[in-house]
Structure 1
Amino acid sequence: MVFSLNLANVYGFDLGAYSAILIEAETGQVLYEHNADEELPPASITKTMAMLIAMEAIESGEVSLEDTVTVSRYAESMGGSQIFLDAGTELTIEDLLKAVTVASANDASVALAEGISGSYYSFVDKMNERAKELKMENTNFRNTTGLPEAEHYTTARDITKMSQKVIKYPEIREWGQIWVDYIDLPNRQAMLTNTNRLILNYQGMDGIKTGHTSEAGYGLASSAVRDDMRLISVVLKAESESERQELTTRLLDYGFNNFRQQTLISDDEAIHNVEIPGSRNGTASVRVAQDLNVVIPRNDDYETELNYYIEEEYDFPILEGETVGEVGVKMNGQEISRKEIVAAEEINRANIFTRLFRGAANTVRDFINR
């Protein structure tokens, strides 16, 4: 579960973009935003969702990177950015994904969708279903390409939600850093040139997706990591490719220069004396399943508070590593993140006499406090 603490106004930074947002990728904390909820045509940034659906299908075992797809006439007919695939050509899902990620190929995105779902529009339905699951409340997809179509829109904020998911896949990060590559086709090699020029000159850049149409202007959803902190930025409706690069650079620089990630609890750190109802000792040692991190301004002190949410009933014994609840962190009174907590040791059930004694003691205590 992730919450969002908006730190956008901490430094009074003004990017000057039509629509933009900057978040920390793990926590989703907003570090800057301007007009982030206006519904806009995303152009090829749309393909971020197609990439995510494909990677999740691979992860689940539904398909594999080695599976082959036959290019349809519909895929061949796509205009705009493409690698000029001929109908009947067979490619692997890996090649198609690489063509989408690196070269933003419309024909490859359609072939990929058909290969995974069988039907192109069934895949588009999956995109919308996944958008709802990710609480992308101001998004509607009509295609995988981002080519102009009525009622095809999203927002800068919604783009960060799918970007957070897709950038977790190492293949996406690897392909996102490729400048030039080639795919072998029956009679030629298709050259893939990255549409995101910032991978050449912005430190830590590893994705995610560019977009451009006359209607949408120039957009870029980007990911960069420094000092173990990953930032995701989205800039929409820039007036030129150079402007979207400049705005993205300024936005990411603002984030890395003014904020830092802090680990409040590491996953190898035992948390002692946490109350576990019904346990032999009444309390036990636990730990977080993953590091509990927050993002804070570099030059300001922010008060943090931890709260434990322990499940009320268990099947004893609770084995080491089993989930016992969650720990939430508040910053300046606002909850920003929760992490699962697990038993750091085997926890056994209290015997019947101990449970009866504790029940009686609690009854007396409640009576006194009435």
Structure 2
Amino acid sequence: MIKALSTTWRGGWFAGLLATTLLSLVATSTYAALPTPGAPDLSARSYVLLDYATEQVIVERDADRPVPPASITKLMTAYLAFQAIKSGNIALDDQVTVSEKAWRMGGSRMFIEVGTQVTVEALLQGMIVQSGNDAATALAEYIGGNEESFVAQMNATAERLGMDETHFENPTGWPAEGHLMSARDIATLLSQLIHEFPDLYKYFRQKSYTYGGIKQYNREKLLFRNEWVDGGKTGHTEAAGYCLATSGARDGMRLIAVVLGTDSDEARNNQAEALLNYGFRHFETVDVRSGGETLASPRVYKGEMDQTPVGLRQDLSVLVPKNQRDDLAISLKLDGELTAPLNQGDAVGSLVVRLGEQAIAERPVVALSDNPEGGLVKQATDSFWLWWDN
């Protein structure tokens, strides 16, 4: 259970007397929390485990180190393709003519033929399931007009998403100087892809795809080992090592794991799986407060109404070790005495969530309704009380 919401603000006894501030008290455990077991010891060059709902990092090593990402690059190619589909710029049944450049791509391939027409949906499956460099190039040329324009879109999108340690040189992940991503940036991208395109994300769950009579299986082996894993992207080059970005959901909780620079296919699978299992076994998501829920109704001076309800714009959840839920406490800090006019959505303070002595989340608190200025008598009376109170 979460401890009672406490409220603090700058102001005197009169403001405090008139504010409705505390939510119901909740009993808390008298036992000390057990220590959370340490994270698994991994050999990956860098890695990160991210909670999808709260965007909290559970564990990481060198998560901001830019390294070659290999075919994990195709997450961004898929993101831009999904974006183009969602906006109506392209459709799944559009026919794409395969260029000679796409046909000549080396590495993993879907085996499309130059001059033939292939649907956008088939190319998506060829790129996501089969990791086809030819499919990724064909999609990039179709969406961007040419590969260079598409790569510019990739980099602009990375900047918009706050992927500060990422730079792309191509849509495939083919080795190129300066083509780099960090584990944290990859986790951010996969999280956004899942959030923005839940219907199209289904292609990452697909275990095999057949094109031209050639059946290829998804290289994301955790799909075959765990029913709760629902997709991601592998990558491998000599410079990148064996890499994996994957996601899974269990008991209403979704985690994203990224491991970069392992020394084998089995190592990347085992280490990503170890991260996911660690997160699911030892952590839980706790819903703190709902967006729009009244946290308090503090005194408002010079307004038509004496009080205004305040709360969060959006739902707030936090991630905590399973044995430390009872150590959560929340406090509402108002910025001072509130005076009208107040408009719905105006920031009036902040809500802080603490786990023991550590602040783990802070969100702005806003007015949940309008409170226009009161009449002249009301304003004069409240001006006196403000003077008296201070």
Task: Please indicate, yes or no, whether the TM-score normalized by the shorter chain is above 0.5.
Answer: yes
CA contact (8 A) 1:15 1:251 kept: no
Worse-matched range after superposition: 256-265 or 199-208: 199-208
Instruction: State which of 362, 370, 377 in structure 2 corresponds to 1:347.
Output: 370
**Structure 2 partner of 1:15:** 41
Deviation by residue 1:5-57 (Cα, 9 ceiling, x = unmatched) = xxxx9643242222111010122211111222222111001111111222223
Q: Gapped runs of 5+ residues in structure 1? A: 1-8
Instruction: State which of 63, 67, 82 in structure 2 corresponds to 1:36.
Output: 63
CA contact (8 A) 2:40 2:274 kept: no
**Structure 2 partner of 1:181:** 209
How many percent identity over aligned positions?
A: 34
Q: Gapped runs of 5+ residues in structure 2? A: 1-34
Deviation by residue 1:193-250 (Cα, 9 ceiling, x = unmatched) = 2110111121311121110112211100010011111100011111111111111111
Q: Confirm whether residue 244 of structure 1 aligns to residue 271 of structure 2.
A: no
Counterpart Cα distance in 1 of 2:39 and 2:276: 12
**Structure 2 partner of 1:26:** 53
Q: Does the C-alpha gap of structure 1 residues 119 and 307 become closer, same or farther in structure 2, counting only changes over 3 Å?
A: farther
Taking structure 1 as the reference length, the TM-score comes to: 0.83
Q: Does the C-alpha gap of structure 1 residues 77 and 350 become closer, same or farther in structure 2, counting only changes over 3 Å?
A: same
Counterpart Cα distance in 1 of 2:300 and 2:88: 38
Counterpart Cα distance in 2 of 1:32 and 1:278: 49
**Structure 1 partner of 2:194:** 167
**Structure 2 partner of 1:79:** 106
Residue-pair matches, total: 348
CA contact (8 A) 1:29 1:336 kept: no
Counterpart Cα distance in 1 of 2:129 and 2:332: 43
Counterpart Cα distance in 2 of 1:264 and 1:167: 23
What amino acid sits opposite 1:121 in the alignment?
E
CA contact (8 A) 2:209 2:216 kept: yes
Counterpart Cα distance in 2 of 1:196 and 1:279: 60
What amino acid sits opposite 1:365 in the alignment?
D
Q: Confirm whether residue 305 of structure 1 aligns to residue 326 of structure 2.
A: no
Counterpart Cα distance in 1 of 2:301 and 2:106: 63
**Structure 1 partner of 2:152:** 125
Alignment of 1:352-367 (within 5 A): 352-353=375-376, 354-366=378-390
Counterpart Cα distance in 2 of 1:99 and 1:279: 62
Counterpart Cα distance in 1 of 2:386 and 2:329: 30
CA contact (8 A) 1:17 1:235 kept: no
Instruction: State which of 239, 250, 254 in structure 2 corresponds to 1:215.
Output: 239
Taking structure 2 as the reference length, the TM-score comes to: 0.79
Relative CO higher for 1 or 2, CA cutoff 8 Å, sep ≥ 6?
Answer: 2
Q: Does the C-alpha gap of structure 1 residues 196 and 284 become closer, same or farther in structure 2, counting only changes over 3 Å?
A: same
Deviation by residue 1:256-308 (Cα, 9 ceiling, x = unmatched) = 01100000113474444156777532433355454311100011244332446
Counterpart Cα distance in 1 of 2:223 and 2:367: 39
Cα deviation for residue 192 of structure 1 reads 4.5
Q: Confirm whether residue 53 of structure 1 aligns to residue 93 of structure 2.
A: no
Alignment of 1:56-205 (within 5 A): 56-168=83-195, 169-183=197-211, 188-189=212-213, 191-205=215-229
Q: Does the C-alpha gap of structure 1 residues 76 and 68 become closer, same or farther in structure 2, counting only changes over 3 Å?
A: same
> Which has the higher Rg, Structure 1 or Structure 2?
2
Counterpart Cα distance in 2 of 1:268 and 1:40: 42
Counterpart Cα distance in 1 of 2:89 and 2:128: 20
Name the Cα RMSD after superposition. Answer: 3.0
